Amino acid sequence: MDMTGDDVRRKDYRFPLDLLQSGEVVKICAPMVRYSRLAFRSLVRCYDCDLAFTPMIVSDSFIQSEKARDSDFTTNYEDRPLIVQFAAKNADDLSAASQLVYPYADGVDINCGCPQRWAMHEGYGACLLSKPQLLVDMVQQTRARISDDQFTVSIKIRIHDDLKHTVELCRRAVHAGVSWITVHGRTPEQRGQPVNLSAISHIRQSVSVPVIANGDIKSLEDVKTVCEQTCVQGVMSARGILSNPAMFSGYNHTPLQCVADWVDISLRLGTSFQSFHNHLMFMLENITSKSDKRVFNSLSSITSVLDYLSTQYGLQVTS
């Protein structure tokens, strides 16, 4: 595990449960494979993101391989509050992985919603929606190994076709000791269908822990609408914040200052060129013409990207 900086156990911030119990809407950056790494988390924290997740990390690889730990989990002093999301299929792996990250994070989250075929085939993600006892065991064993009340154990789920099964799953998880629940308002089979806000609202009313709404949060106006309709304690954005890291600050499109901040942060932290370039492709999507997109997307070096940003947008950045 790469812990950048002198001290990653900073305590001069609000813990996740303190945020979720504050009465304010908590704005959260979702776990995104390849994307919600340290540099991007650092960027969104500059634009009113209250809480950030790591990408989903496979727990068994994480505990077995030092190389995997160094690759998958990088943090620093400013990267708090932080939740580490794990894909796990047994309680031993999850609890052991949780112990490894405990000194450097504020909680772990169990991915119970990933619908990708590889994850389902391996027994991760949305598979857990049909294995409530396994989920209970995961929560209880992690709680038994880490007694710190400030360290949260949460779950991120999708919904069942029959919502009563989702409510029962959530109630069992709460009884086992889960701290809070993120609900993506679609079933594992659904992709572009509208998010089921009434389902999220029903789950919110059915459990005693905070509930986070996830799905189609693309603007501050969406945050307001979803909270009004569901009464959740927080919202989580993935694709929306990927395209516009400043969305929680009220920007409808990525401001150029945010682009400049990304360049500064990513180069300072040593982000790979692929990640550096891909994030910029997302950020510039809605403010660049089709012809310019083709040019920008074909760039293959940091120098060419910096030259492009200087010529097209007047951003004076250096490598």
Token pair in block for residue 42: 């650092």
Give the pLDDT score at 318: 58
Judged by average pLDDT, the poorest of 70-79, 83-92, 164-173 is 70-79
Segment 14-30, tens digit of pLDDT: 899 999 999 999 999 99
Segment 13-69, tens digit of pLDDT: 789 999 999 999 999 999 998 899 999 999 999 999 999 999 999 999 999 988 888
Instruction: Let me know if residue 147 belongs to a domain.
Output: yes
Q: What is the pTM of this model?
A: 0.94
Instruction: Let me know if residue 57 belongs to a domain.
Output: yes
Instruction: Let me know if residue 319 belongs to a domain.
Output: no
Position 1 confidence tier, pLDDT thresholds 50, 70, 90:
low
What is residue 82's three-state secondary structure?
strand
Answer with the one of 249, 281, 300 that is the final residue of a domain: 249
pLDDT at 74 over 60: yes
Q: Which domain range does residue 48 map to?
A: 2-249
Residues shown for the chain: 319
Same domain, 127 and 26: yes
170 is catalytic: no
**Residue that has been written with the tokens 């190389």 in this structure:** 67
Give the pLDDT score at 80: 94
Instruction: Let me know if residue 162 belongs to a domain.
Output: yes
Of 117, 152, 129, the closest CA to residue 203 belongs to 129
Same domain, 217 and 75: yes
Same domain, 156 and 285: no
Answer with the one of 224, 249, 274 that is the final residue of a domain: 249
Same domain, 29 and 129: yes
What is the distance between the alpha carbons of residues 54 and 37, in angstroms, rounded to a whole number? Answer: 6
Same domain, 179 and 297: no
Peptide bond between residue 31 and the one before it cis (omega within 30 degrees of 0)? no
The domain total for the chain is 2
Handedness of CA 31, 35, 37, 38 (dihedral sign): negative
Q: Indicate which residue of 49, 112, 114, 127 is catalytic.
A: 114
Same domain, 184 and 279: no
* 48 phi-psi bin (left φ>0, alpha ψ -120 to 50, beta other): left
Longest dimension (CA), the chain: 58
pLDDT at 5 over 50: no
Q: What is the mean pLDDT of the chain?
A: 93
| Mean pLDDT calculated for residue range 254-271 | 95
Same domain, 66 and 205: yes
pLDDT at 279 over 70: yes
Instruction: Let me know if residue 178 belongs to a domain.
Output: yes
**Residue that has been written with the tokens 């395209």 in this structure:** 243
Give the pLDDT score at 70: 87
Same domain, 224 and 306: no
Same domain, 277 and 226: no
Which CATH number characterizes residue 181's domain? Answer: 3.20.20.70
What is the distance between the alpha carbons of residues 295 and 292, in angstroms, rounded to a whole number? Answer: 5
Instruction: Let me know if residue 264 belongs to a domain.
Output: yes
Give the pLDDT score at 197: 97
Question: At how many degrees (to 10) do helices 302-313 and 256-269 cross?
Answer: 160
Q: Where are the strands (E) in the chain, listed by range?
A: 2-4, 26-29, 51-53, 57-58, 74-76, 82-87, 107-112, 152-158, 181-184, 211-214, 234-237
H-helix or E-strand containing 223?
A: helix 220-230
User: In the 8-state DSSP scheme, what is residue 265?
Assistant: H
Instruction: Let me know if residue 190 belongs to a domain.
Output: yes
Give the pLDDT score at 68: 83
Are the beta carbons of 48 and 249 closer than 8 angstroms? yes
Answer with the one of 249, 271, 290 that is the final residue of a domain: 249
Instruction: Let me know if residue 318 belongs to a domain.
Output: no
Same domain, 158 and 263: no
The residues, any chain, with a CB within 8 Å of residue 194's CB and separated by 6 or more, are 216
CA distances from 13 to 20, 51, 93, 152, 157 (A): 13, 11, 29, 15, 27
Position 192 confidence tier, pLDDT thresholds 50, 70, 90:
confident
Handedness of CA 4, 69, 81, 254 (dihedral sign): positive
Same domain, 128 and 187: yes
Give the pLDDT score at 55: 96
Give the pLDDT score at 115: 85
Share of the chain above pLDDT 70, in %: 95
Give the pLDDT score at 6: 45
pLDDT at 289 over 80: yes
Give the pLDDT score at 286: 86
Same domain, 152 and 132: yes
